[in-house]
Amino acid sequence: MSLLFSEEMFSKVEPILDKIYNHQFVKELCDGTLAKEKFVYYMQQDSLYLVDYTKALALVAAKSYSEQDISLNLDFAQGALLAERSLHEEYFTEFSVVTVLEKMPACFAYTSYLLNIAALDSVHESMAALLPCFWIYNEVGKHILKQAKPNNPYQKWINTYSGGEFEKVTLQAIDYTDKLAKETTGLLNERMKNAFIKSCKMEYYFWNDAYNLTSWAV
């Protein structure tokens, strides 16, 4: 019996996920020692990312054929915007975060990629590119929860992404992407795999930019 798309891809990108687990941003988020300025940078960029991620999901909904698929993708879009926006607002208030308008390099590259693929390519490729955000955040949340230090200032973030509600949505996104992958063969299936892997790499660079407080060189 052949592997599901998600099973094959999760195995293939395990080295990337391990690099994310072992990135200093994630390790310091886990033990609560992450510098506030790095978390603030991350939240500012994530807020910008979230808007475009939601737009990309809405584009997938617009290109879907069945009412069920349209509804599912709109639910993904609304859920991502409302749940994570609530988390952002809490931290923006707590840390007196100032809203920024400029995307830094990793955020700009990632959102441009997602919007481009959602606008110009198939629903199949689009969902393969969008899935890593759900999957990696849920995996990182659960990974951190197992070893997070007590009284962690970032506990709300950990609880959100390790929680049952987010995991439920993640599993729905995985199932939907697996369903789409079953409809593909040959080149389209390979394009789905490439899209998934590229987004996983983008996730790593997003964490990396935040830890290094990366800005434009010119």
Residues catalogued as catalytic:
133, 203
Q: Which residues contact 12 (CB under 8 A, 6 or more apart)?
A: 193, 197
**Are 126 and 56 a contacting pair, CB within 8 Å?**
yes
Six-digit token pair at 107? Answer: 């955020």
**Are 121 and 188 a contacting pair, CB within 8 Å?**
no
Q: Which residues contact 188 (CB under 8 A, 6 or more apart)?
A: 122, 124, 125
- Beta strands of 86-133 (E only): which ranges? none
d(CA 161, CA 187): 33
Residue 123: CA atoms inside 13 Å, Cβ hemisphere, count?
A: 22
**Are 97 and 40 a contacting pair, CB within 8 Å?**
yes
Query: Is residue 41 within a helix (H) or strand (E), and if so which, with residue range?
Result: helix 36-63
